[in-house]
Structure 1
Amino acid sequence: MCALCGILGPANHWTDAAARPGVFTRNLDSLQRRRERLQRVACAQRVLSHYRLTLSDWQGTAYLLSTPTGKTEIVDNLTHLWAAAEKLLGRRCDPLDPAVINHLGPARG
């Protein structure tokens, strides 16, 4: 699928909050949904930093995943994140790798 079709395609993936009660979230406030999306980006960014990758929100419809050298992939939703990371890096990325977990530091309660 081309990038334009991906942007114009269907919304409301299960990893995103929806404006309808009972669908993914009960949140009707668009500002709160945006805040939740940015919190998901921040959480993913913590894990991706182990691989020196950055993730950012793009217009509230997709994500930009980038390497330190500037290679970038548009990621439609968070379920495609790890496949895109592996494509950019040319190697396997495992968010449950003990090195990644160690990179994140001690769990906070």
Structure 2
Amino acid sequence: MSCLNQWSNGAMCGLCGLMGEQQDWTDSLRTDLPRRRERLRKIRLLNYITAPYRLSITDFQGVNYLIQTPTGKHSIANGLDQLWNEIQQLTGQKIDVLDPRLLSHLEAL
């Protein structure tokens, strides 16, 4: 029985929250790469996207993302939706996908 089943309010313990892997719509249903390599490929792309914002994203425990700023602020996110929210919390700005600076950076990809 999982922690989620034990708590009527839908809360879970920190261990399940840390270890629980969230399925994301961007996850490949079928890939030729092993799951770990696919995850590292995704993190490499995320680092490229967030480079103009001077952020570093690394794998944390194989299921979460560790986001760090150059000043040492950091946060852990589970899934891409939470990742973008945590980036906004850390930097005080939202990543604007129509920002000309970001678009020109991505065109070089």
Report if TM-score (shorter chain) is over 0.5: yes
Q: 2:22, 2:78 within 8 Å by CA — same for their partners in 1? A: no
Distance across 2 between alignment mates of 1:14 and 1:90: 25
How big is each residue's C-alpha offset from its partner over 1:62-107, in whole Å with a ceiling of 9 and x where there is no partner?
0100100110010111121211111001122213322101123435
Structure 1 runs (4+) deviating above 4 angstroms are none
- The TM-score, its normalising length taken from structure 2, stands at 0.74
Residue ranges of structure 1 left out of the alignment (5+ in a row)? 18-23
> Percent same amino acid at aligned positions?
40
- Paired amino acid for 1:82: W
How far 1:13 moved relative to its partner? 1.0
2:55 is matched with which residue? Answer: 53
- CA change 1:86–1:12 in 2 (3 A) is closer
Count of residue pairs the alignment pairs up:
98
Q: Give runs of aligned pairs for residues 46-85 of structure 1, distance below 5 A.
A: 46-85=48-87
CA RMSD of aligned residues (A): 2.4
Q: 1:45, 1:55 within 8 Å by CA — same for their partners in 2? A: yes
Residue ranges of structure 2 left out of the alignment (5+ in a row)? 1-10
- Paired amino acid for 1:83: N
- The TM-score, its normalising length taken from structure 1, stands at 0.74
1:14 is matched with which residue? Answer: 24
- CA change 1:12–1:76 in 2 (3 A) is closer
- 2:43 corresponds to 1:41: yes
- Paired amino acid for 1:71: K
- 2:108 corresponds to 1:106: yes
Distance across 2 between alignment mates of 1:69 and 1:5: 30
1:21 is matched with which residue? Answer: none
